[in-house]
Structure 1
């Protein structure tokens, strides 16, 4: 199994329990770097990881487990929406890159279970057994959108397209703050934004991630108008121009809640910038691609290549710690988008 963290010298960190969602993200990552042209043993690595995932990652009822021990044994079978979203995502990409029809069939079966058992009458999905609700969160639904996107691309199955459109409508009518164009994070059971304070929290990285998805989604789910609003808010309020990075959290009024900057928002900034450049082809958007790339490179430019910093403090100092392997998916996705720059 893939490790959860890497030391700054590139070695697996101390033994830790391993989350199913991280295993899924790494399957995606190796499939994608193979399609990008990496000549290493990506097919072997991804194929073996997929076999292990299919063999150990599912309960008898067809739903996903949550956690493995360092030795790879299942130690927590609790249900979680993030885990299921990333399982669907990995299975779709494995079907695409490896030609594994069994992965696509498993994704369709899991989707159908979720459509039968997980849908909430208020819209969206049940979030599982690990996180108390309320508050309800938009973010796992974003990853469901991402998973439906690749599975529809590979299979053309209209059920995936319908799910994309359903989630896109939920975003447009509930998640998005119409006045600002931003996406907030936390909601009550009826998908009403929580009261001022927690309800006004915006993560610029999530604005940019949703913006990218609405840029690249197929007709019926694509919305460049929504993408423009999201990107506009993030660029206006979520960038530390001095450090050159996207920050963690602001409020709807643009005031800063957390001026630190994790790695993953930099990847979403780059993805959104590339997608916008491909659509608009302006010098300003080309400059945004360069700025986003330079911001991301700060996190990757370490003496040992292949590891990264995850957290930059607001004062410009790094948090020196083991690199979370979960970030590899973000890095690969951003570089894949850059690779497709037209």
Structure 2
């Protein structure tokens, strides 16, 4: 109740742009937005999803629905005309002039699809169905490697297997999987797409290339030729993503009845529980940023988003009757609340070191 009627209105007033529309991408340590900073499609899409999702959870939702409608209008500015959405625009909604900002990233497109599918549940229309279908077709046509079926980084990559191509990342696959599951739950059936089948196919493909069965963990990166990525990139495991994948696998299992997915989710959680939790200091019990398959710490810091994913996974495990999950969830929640309060309104990191880290992709 406090979140809905106290914190949320204050936060929306803080992040909303009354002049340019949409929301500001970031706040500084004092919670002040930079009104001249560029705005990314990632932030605008995430906000549309957030507003639409909150509106469905709230009885008194007229204000949230109106805000989501305005946000949907802002998202349209980023369309490239081929079903894709560019990375960033100026604060006034114009092209930045930088090549990278004109590209469409597979990571961003997954959130556009997530947002559109959720908004379609609140405001269904034939126009929105076409936008969803166009976005999906563009991902297939422009952001999928025809040789492997894996997503490529962006529509500027001509040869995803070239030695100098970007590393293959699990992250856009995970979020597109999430978008497919969301579209299934939102019953976007008017598009004639079997969203659950798409989710199952993408999940199987992603796990084939990114799941490390020996350690029971998800790799963050593999090389362009699908071999192990060099250096720390090949060793990197993010506890937050282990919990996030587990949450999504359990979600698919709920929809499909495939109990085998819960076994993989349990392995991911066991790895993160064993190696990815801070064991000392005032934030003991919180999820670390990055570790190796053997449990060595790569980044001794604690961003806020991994804590969110851990709490979601703990909640599911508690609901399934797993012992000690209620206590673990309370411990996480307490660490996040206490550290977040100390760090400030706009904080994205629970600081264990003097450095301040912004949100990771």
TM-score category of the 2 structures, normalised to the smaller one: 0.7 to 0.9
CA distance in 2 between counterparts of 1:177 and 1:227 reads 13
CA distance in 1 between counterparts of 2:300 and 2:126 reads 44
Choose from 290, 295, 311 the match for 2:330: 290
Superposition deviation, residue 250 in structure 1 = 0.5
CA distance in 2 between counterparts of 1:97 and 1:187 reads 38
Structure 1 stretches of at least 4 aligned residues deviating more than 4 Å after TM superposition? 129-132
Alignment CA distance shift 1:248-1:91 (3 Å): same
Choose from 77, 80, 88 the match for 2:102: 77
The 5 Å alignment of 1:1-342 reads 1-37=22-58, 39=60, 41-54=63-76, 56-75=77-96, 76-100=101-125, 102-120=127-145, 121-129=147-155, 133-154=165-186, 155-156=188-189, 157-195=192-230, 197-217=232-252, 218-219=255-256, 223-242=261-280, 243=283, 244-279=285-320, 281-301=321-341, 307-315=345-353, 319=356
Superposition deviation, residue 194 in structure 1 = 2.1
Superposition deviation, residue 318 in structure 1 = 7.5
Superposition deviation, residue 302 in structure 1 = 5.3
Superposition deviation, residue 312 in structure 1 = 2.7
Tell me whether 109-118 or 93-102 shows the greater mean CA deviation: 93-102
Alignment correspondent of 2:15: none
Kept in 2, the 8 Å contact 1:263–1:299? The answer is: no
TM-score for the superposition, normalised by structure 1 = 0.85
TM-score for the superposition, normalised by structure 2 = 0.80
Question: Which digits, 9 at most, give the CA deviation of each residue in 1:140-177, with x for residues without a partner?
Answer: 11111111111122224543222211221123321110
Kept in 2, the 8 Å contact 1:2–1:23? The answer is: yes
Superposition deviation, residue 14 in structure 1 = 4.9
Kept in 1, the 8 Å contact 2:106–2:172? The answer is: yes
Alignment CA distance shift 1:314-1:9 (3 Å): closer
SS in 1 for 2:79: coil
Alignment CA distance shift 1:314-1:301 (3 Å): closer
Kept in 1, the 8 Å contact 2:35–2:91? The answer is: no
Alignment CA distance shift 1:195-1:318 (3 Å): closer
SS in 2 for 1:240: coil
Question: Which digits, 9 at most, give the CA deviation of each residue in 1:227-267, with x for residues without a partner?
Answer: 10111111111111321311111011101010101111010
Superposition deviation, residue 115 in structure 1 = 1.8
SS in 1 for 2:82: coil
Alignment CA distance shift 1:10-1:309 (3 Å): closer
Alignment CA distance shift 1:50-1:227 (3 Å): same
Alignment CA distance shift 1:8-1:144 (3 Å): same
Superposition deviation, residue 282 in structure 1 = 3.5
Kept in 2, the 8 Å contact 1:182–1:230? The answer is: yes
Query: Which structure has the larger Rg over C-alpha atoms?
Result: 2
CA distance in 2 between counterparts of 1:226 and 1:282 reads 16
Tell me whether 232-241 or 39-48 shows the greater mean CA deviation: 39-48
CA distance in 2 between counterparts of 1:291 and 1:38 reads 30
**Unmatched tracts of structure 1, length 5 or more:** 328-342
CA distance in 1 between counterparts of 2:231 and 2:108 reads 30
Superposition deviation, residue 308 in structure 1 = 3.8
SS in 2 for 1:21: helix
Question: Which digits, 9 at most, give the CA deviation of each residue in 1:262-317, with x for residues without a partner?
Answer: 111010111111111222x234122222122223323442597xx342123334x6
